[in-house]
Amino acid sequence: MASPNEVECCFGAQAILIRMDAAASHAQAVRDNRDVEAVHDMRVASRRLRTVLELFVDCLPGKKARTWRKAIRRVTRALGEARDTDVHVEFVEGFLKSVTDRRLLPGLKRLLLRLRQKRRALQDDMVAALDPLDSSGTLGEMEAILGPVLARGQLSRVDLNDPCIRRRASRAISQRLEAMLAYEPYIEQPQRILELHAMRIAAKHLRYAVEIFRPLYGEDFDSILRSLKQVQQQLGDLHDCDVWIAWLPSFVEQERQRTVEYFGDARTMGRLVPGIDHLRTKRQCHRDECYRDFVAFWQQLRQQDTWVAMYRMVSPQEQSEPPVPPPGQEPSA
């Protein structure tokens, strides 16, 4: 890639600062731990910030960029575990309300207890990860360095619709689109859990890149963003079911070990297992439903040539067909 010019770095500085402010706005609410949605909002904001830093890393001071990205990555990970646990707590709370068979309650209540204990233990780690981002840390440095870059661009009246920005957008979006489509051969293989999860992550990276460059394309990108959001959501629901299905047997074994250590035997586990098994069965049924919905929606997108249209929208005029792997072809390693 050629060295970035003033226009590219001005666009990048503006995009970074917008996402930096979004992340900072949720930090105090996350520390207070009064609103579980604050954790979700800041997690998403940190992911978007990481994406824009990656896309414009050549506009950033090398050592600082590495430090910033490392600090934000720590935050994303800490927030991720806390958010996932919040979602699981909320789900089990709701699931309990629908249970009428009293034999199922002991296991589900024990599960909810352990999840709440885990969430409380994660709070300190999450707050510790936020500390480097305060006004005197990472976010303050980013503002101090990127603010003047944006100001110089505005004073110079740089044109943010300059072709160099569109070329950068084309590279970023096309590469991420190709990365997502590389997993298409696995869509008809419901047992490929790891590959479908990787496809969800690729769709998320593509969506965030599209959001960053949306100002260049305007409303033309809105329907694409809605489609990407739905793909990400459906694959996320699928992954959530896979996590439950894989984890619940391990949870039962951990509780068995706890029971033996405390009581000397595992006889009381008989009260817990029915509820856990019932939840696992329900999650498997929901997983099957989520998978069918995702496959149907993906086929609809294919019939509408959504990805071909997107590729052509961002590609230079001289470039023709997108490199989409045909169904059944294995993606390269």
Cα gap 125→78, rounded to integer Å: 7
Give the integer Cα–Cα distance in Å for 182 and 40. 28
pLDDT digits (tens, 9 = 90+) for 52-82: 999 999 988 888 888 898 889 999 998 999 9
pTM exceeds 0.95, yes or no: no
Question: CATH fold of 1-159, please?
Answer: CHAD domain (1.40.20)
Domain ranges of the chain: 1-159, 161-315
Residue pair 88/122 in contact (Cβ under 8 Å)? The answer is no
Contact residues for 324 (Cβ-Cβ < 8 A; gap 6+): 181, 184, 307, 308, 311
Q: Which residues contact 148 (CB under 8 A, 6 or more apart)?
A: none
C-alpha 255/C-alpha 261 separation (Å) is 10
- Residue 186: its pLDDT value, please? 97
pLDDT number for residue 299: 97
Q: What is the pLDDT of residue 329?
A: 43
Q: Say how far apart CA 153 and CA 143 lie, in whole Å.
A: 15
Give residue 158's pLDDT.
63
pLDDT at 315: 85
The pLDDT score that the predictor gives to residue 94 is 96
**How far is C-alpha 324 from the geometric centre of its chain's CA atoms?**
24
HSE on the CB side for 114, CA within 13 Å? 14
Question: What pLDDT score was predicted for residue 4?
Answer: 65
Residue with tokens 């296991």: 107
DSSP 317: T
Mean per-residue pLDDT pooled into runs of 10, the chain (333 residues): 73 92 88 86 93 92 87 91 94 96 96 96 88 76 88 70 87 96 96 97 96 88 94 97 97 92 83 96 97 97 94 72 44 38
Q: Which residues does 10 contact at the CB level (< 8 Å), separation at least 6?
A: 149, 150, 152, 153, 154, 158, 160
